[in-house]
Chains A and B, each alone.
Chain A
Amino acid sequence: MKQNKVSLTHYAMKKQDIEAYIGLGGYHGLKAALDMDRSEVVKEVQDSKLRGRGGAGFPTGKKWAGVPPSEETYVVCNADEGEPGTFKDRYIMENTPFLLLEGMTIAGYAVGAKKGFIYIRGEYPTIAETLKKALEAARSQNMLGNNILGSGFSFDIEIKRGGGSYVVGDETALLSSLMGKRGFPWMKPPYPTEKGLWDRPTVVNNVETLSYVPLILAHGAAAFSKIGVEGSTGPKLYSVSGHVNSPGVYEFPMGVSVKDLIEAAGGVQGQLKAVQIGGTAGPIYDAESLSMQLDYDAMQTAGGTLGSGAVVVMNSKTNMAGVLDVSMRFFAEESCGQCFPCRYGTRQLNYMAQRIAAGTGRQSYLQLMQDTGEVMQATSFCPFGQSVSTPLNSLLQHFGDEVKGFIQQQDYVKEVI
């Protein structure tokens, strides 16, 4: 039995079969957890220094430790993977759904929940079916349901499908949506761990975060935390797409360099021009970024964020005004509209970016866009609106001359409009 490998891809299977999963070493984590006291499970996850893999990087054990005792507690898996360039959660749910179910069950045990929800984005209908089948299989083996493995602990999971909204990826917006409302984020505190679903304590964790939990319990916190770097422990799934020869999901220890990751993905097609890291709200770097280290702290020092671990590679043929256009349209379409700076700001930015890309932009737009981004950063309600300035400013910093070229080529248009 290949058991001493702290790797998520180790559990990947083409065909989903719970016995095969158990054969690979699956459910060792759950068994280990059920033999421990609840608080010991929380401590183990705290000691592993696992940080949330959805983008914010909050320490998972700390989140769990903050759950007060309650009659009714919920575990919610955030499977609303909407960050452009990210497809790691799809990979997990398609290739190793039992790992996720096992992780959720452990989370449920640790925080004293009986009920879990997987909120999966509406655009993943076939994966929702895969998960439903996996749930049935887990119930049939008594890995879910009443009195799991004779431990006296009962836990079950329900699948909820989303309806297509990026903002719902935010944990509070996700809870709004799960309760059948518009997907508006709400003000924290109170944090969902205190007052979440129907005002009950609720733990919201990303798919990848929960899927690493069984490995921590099966191999011990120390085995997990010695992988990676100080401050960002364990392995991580990176989604690599764009102009590389073998785009896909790659598992590396935290702190892998952009260069090594791109090499693993078969290298750049043509000449490297730009890389966007962490999703649409992440900075756009030039070719200098190759030496950058992909972990939470190093990325923060570099003025960015690891985000979901998305890396989009662009070669020299990429039109950067087009990239600006795509990014700003994304923000305008996905703004939830709850607060004014974001609702209005994203539309203005989209308008200006579209004009620039179409060759009808004005010289004043570049400054105006940056000012708009700055105001939004200062005044928007949630991280969505606050982050628009990150891709915008970095793109203009590295590729400002190219974008200016789109304006200057068509200078005469200014006179007309």
Chain B
Amino acid sequence: MQPVQLTEFPHSPDHILHIFHEFQDRDSDNNFISSSSVRRIAEHLDLSMSQVYGVLSFYHMFSYRPRGKYVIRLCDSLSCRIVGSLDIYTYLRAELGLQRKKISDDGLFSLEIVNCLGSCHTAPNMMINEQLITNLTLEKVKATIHSLKEEAKDETE
């Protein structure tokens, strides 16, 4: 994984969301922005750390606490709910031993509920990190989780 070089970005606060995305995706295995990253970002943009935290904590996609290697964002808006998103939520919580916004024991997964991924014609939907997975069924979710576990196993070997 390539660490993020802040010199890639201009010293202007309007790039802050872009910087957050890059740090979260590239600088950590745990999909979060650490306090040392916040310090570096603050220095680069000439903001205080609390200003950076202020922006960071406003947006749902960012986290200043470590999360799983795979962040599951399950949509539970109306269009997904009425075609079974709640069953998938219940299944995932049981299967991964997850409470909301907590990490699974193996450190691989965290589960979040989100409001609409803008793909209601393929409901129910979820995103795993940056990838959208549509037309969910329990079988499909099961297979996806299984293949991610295998993928993680291969990486560590």
Contacts of A89 in B (CB 8 A): 118
Chain B window 39-53, contacts with chain A (Cβ cutoff 8 Å), 1 for yes, 0 for no: 000000100000000
Say yes or no: A82 contacts B81, CB within 8 Å: no
User: In whole angstroms, what is the CA distance A123 to B120 when docked?
Assistant: 14
B148 within 8 A of A: no
User: In whole angstroms, what is the CA distance A316 to B121 when docked?
Assistant: 19
**Chain A: minimal CB distance from B137 (Å):** 16
Chain B window 77-120, contacts with chain A (Cβ cutoff 8 Å), 1 for yes, 0 for no: 11101110010000000000000000000000000001111111
A179 nearest in chain B by CB position: B14
B21 within 8 A of A: yes
Say yes or no: B21 contacts A161, CB within 8 Å: yes
User: In whole angstroms, what is the CA distance A299 to B31 when docked?
Assistant: 43
Say yes or no: B132 contacts A164, CB within 8 Å: no
A322 nearest in chain B by CB position: B81
A193 within 8 A of B: no
Of the candidates A161, A179, A241, A333, the one whose C-beta lies within 8 Å of that of B18 is A161
A361 within 8 A of B: no
**Chain B: minimal CB distance from A94 (Å):** 10
Say yes or no: A180 contacts B14, CB within 8 Å: yes
A385 within 8 A of B: no
Which of B54, B83, B118, B121 has the most chain A CB atoms inside 10 A of its CB?
B118
B12 nearest in chain A by CB position: A180
B66 within 8 A of A: no
Of the candidates A123, A125, A326, A333, the one whose C-beta lies within 8 Å of that of B118 is A123
A247 nearest in chain B by CB position: B121
* A residues 364-417 in Cβ contact with B at 8 Å: none
Which of B13, B45, B60, B132 has the most chain A CB atoms inside 10 A of its CB?
B60
Chain A window 155-174, contacts with chain B (Cβ cutoff 8 Å), 1 for yes, 0 for no: 00000111111100000000
B16 within 8 A of A: yes
**Chain B: minimal CB distance from A38 (Å):** 27
A166 nearest in chain B by CB position: B115
User: In whole angstroms, what is the CA distance A210 to B20 when docked?
Assistant: 29
User: In whole angstroms, what is the CA distance A226 to B15 when docked?
Assistant: 43
User: In whole angstroms, what is the CA distance A177 to B61 when docked?
Assistant: 14
Say yes or no: B55 contacts A241, CB within 8 Å: no
* A residues 230-257 in Cβ contact with B at 8 Å: 239-243, 247-249
User: In whole angstroms, what is the CA distance A243 to B122 when docked?
Assistant: 12
Contacts of A249 in B (CB 8 A): 121
User: In whole angstroms, what is the CA distance A249 to B18 when docked?
Assistant: 30
What range describes how many residues of B lie at the interface? 35 or more
* B residues 52-80 in Cβ contact with A at 8 Å: 54-55, 58-62, 73, 76-79
Say yes or no: B78 contacts A323, CB within 8 Å: yes
Say yes or no: B82 contacts A318, CB within 8 Å: yes
User: In whole angstroms, what is the CA distance A177 to B14 when docked?
Assistant: 8
Of the candidates A82, A160, A310, A333, the one whose C-beta lies within 8 Å of that of B17 is A160
Say yes or no: B59 contacts A122, CB within 8 Å: yes
A208 within 8 A of B: no
User: In whole angstroms, what is the CA distance A324 to B61 when docked?
Assistant: 25
A81 within 8 A of B: yes
* A residues 325-359 in Cβ contact with B at 8 Å: 326-327, 329-330, 333-334, 336
B76 nearest in chain A by CB position: A326
A51 within 8 A of B: no
Chain A window 290-325, contacts with chain B (Cβ cutoff 8 Å), 1 for yes, 0 for no: 000000000000000000001010100010001100
Of the candidates B45, B59, B120, the one whose C-beta lies within 8 Å of that of A85 is B120
**Chain B: minimal CB distance from A192 (Å):** 16
B123 within 8 A of A: yes
Say yes or no: B79 contacts A241, CB within 8 Å: yes
Which 5 A-B residue pairs are closest in the complex by CB-CB distance?
A163-B59, A241-B120, A164-B61, A164-B60, A180-B13
A residues near B (Cβ < 8 Å) are 81-87, 89-90, 121-126, 160-166, 177-183, 239-243, 247-249, 276, 280, 310, 312, 314, 318, 322-323, 326-327, 329-330, 333-334, 336
Given contact pairs A164-B59, A239-B120, A241-B123, a sample of 16 additional A-B residue pairs in the complex whose CB atoms are under 8 Å apart: A84-B115, A84-B120, A85-B78, A87-B120, A123-B73, A123-B114, A163-B62, A164-B114, A178-B14, A180-B16, A241-B120, A247-B122, A248-B121, A280-B77, A280-B78, A330-B115
